[in-house]
């Protein structure tokens, strides 16, 4: 029973944290435009500070921890990827460009042929 109430408390606390993070972000955007007479530098610094604070609050929630684990796992998987060499990249890019060029010319000629046939029939 205590485990259930701990989960409920944690869930409620996480909800409050998420709501406060969103409220901080929204209030920073509002204050950016509301205090238009202040220097842009000060307003941007306030927004940056608010974003950092909101991220810190978000990453202290259960969903934030899960998201951070996902980011870490993604970085590990990115290191495992075998990236193509420069030569392979250039060859693939040139192949795609040539294919697009050939198909573009083909469809242009097909369009020209269909236009010719259509005008011949309707004339």
Using one digit for the tens of pLDDT, what is the confidence trace for 7-61?
766 788 999 999 999 999 999 999 999 999 999 999 999 999 999 999 999 999 9
Please give the share of the chain, as a percent, with pLDDT higher than 70: 93
Q: What is the pLDDT of residue 31?
A: 95
Q: What is the pLDDT of residue 11?
A: 85
Q: What is the pLDDT of residue 10?
A: 75
Mean pLDDT of the chain: 93
Residue 62's contacts (CB-CB under 8 Å, 6 or more residues apart) are 10, 11, 14
Could you count the other beta carbons within 10 Å of the beta carbon of residue 80?
6
Q: What is the pLDDT of residue 75?
A: 94
Inter-residue contact 32 to 49 (CB < 8 Å): no
Tell me: pLDDT of 5 over 80. no
Alpha-carbon gap, residue 88 to 18, rounded angstroms: 45
Q: What is the pLDDT of residue 112?
A: 96
Structure tokens belonging to residue 5: 């109430």
Q: What is the pLDDT of residue 4?
A: 58
How many Cα atoms sit within 13 Å of 25 on the Cβ side?
13
Tell me: pLDDT of 3 over 70. no
Structure tokens belonging to residue 58: 């978000």
Tell me: pLDDT of 1 over 60. no
Q: What is the pLDDT of residue 6?
A: 64
- In Å, the largest CA–CA distance within the chain is 87
Compute the radius of gyration of the chain from its Cα atoms.
Answer: 28
């Amino acid at each position: 029973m205590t485990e259930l109430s701990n989960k409920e408390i944690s869930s409620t606390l996480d909800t409050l944290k998420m709501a406060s993070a969103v409220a901080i972000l929204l209030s920073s955007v509002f204050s950016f435009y509301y205090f238009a007479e202040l220097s842009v530098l000060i307003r941007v610094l306030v927004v940056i500070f608010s974003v950092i604070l909101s991220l810190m609050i978000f990453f202290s929630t259960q969903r934030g921890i899960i998201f951070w684990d996902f980011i870490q796992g993604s970085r590990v998987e990115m290191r495992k990827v075998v990236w193509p060499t420069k030569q392979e990249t250039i060859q693939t890019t040139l192949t795609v460009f040539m294919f697009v060029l050939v198909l573009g010319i083909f469809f242009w000629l097909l369009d020209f042929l269909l236009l010719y046939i259509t005008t011949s029939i309707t004339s």
